[in-house]
Amino acid sequence: MYNSHLPTDGHSMAHNAAFGSGTQVFGKSPEHQGNQRIRHLLKCFGLRTSLIRLKVIDALLTAADNGRSLGVRGVHSHLLELGIPLSFLSVREVLKRLCSEGVITLNADKSYSLHEQAAKVLAANNA
């Protein structure tokens, strides 16, 4: 006789604590939340989200949080350390595009930083 409460393979159902209703299972990781704010930033500037743009902006934000500035080589090296195999030229082109769109600025020392307007967008998104 068919019992709708039993699995169809005849084995009893095992309960797994990992599939509970706790918030940790479905909660956003800090990296995902960071990506969300960068996605919002790119959308505000009319740019599509891409993995390389997310990682480049994240690298610049991380450097700024640590009181450092990065140039093209610094961003490229940071991404390689994270295991993201992007070419130097790809990183340079993304930085140039973000610069031309006003998301980041090229400083006098050839380092890049978040543009003042972009920083305001991120600050408003965190509030």
CATH number, domain containing residue 25: 1.10.10.10
CA distances (Å), origin 104, targets 49, 82, 118: 15, 21, 7
CA 48 – CA 57 distance, rounded (Å): 13
7 within some domain: no
Q: Is residue 3 part of a domain?
A: no
- Residue 90 forms part of a structural domain: yes
Give the pLDDT confidence score for residue 20 in this predicted structure.
40
Would you say residue 1 has pLDDT above 70?
Answer: no
CB neighbours of residue 112 within 10 Å: 26
What's residue 125's pLDDT?
Answer: 80
Q: Residue 6: inside a domain, yes or no? A: no
Give the residue among 105, 40, 36 at the shortest CA–CA distance from 70: 105
Query: Is there a domain that residue 58 lies in?
Result: yes
* Confidence class for position 4, pLDDT limits 50, 70, 90: low
Domain that holds residue 71: 20-126
How does pLDDT run across 46-61, given as a tens digit for each residue?
999 999 999 999 999 9
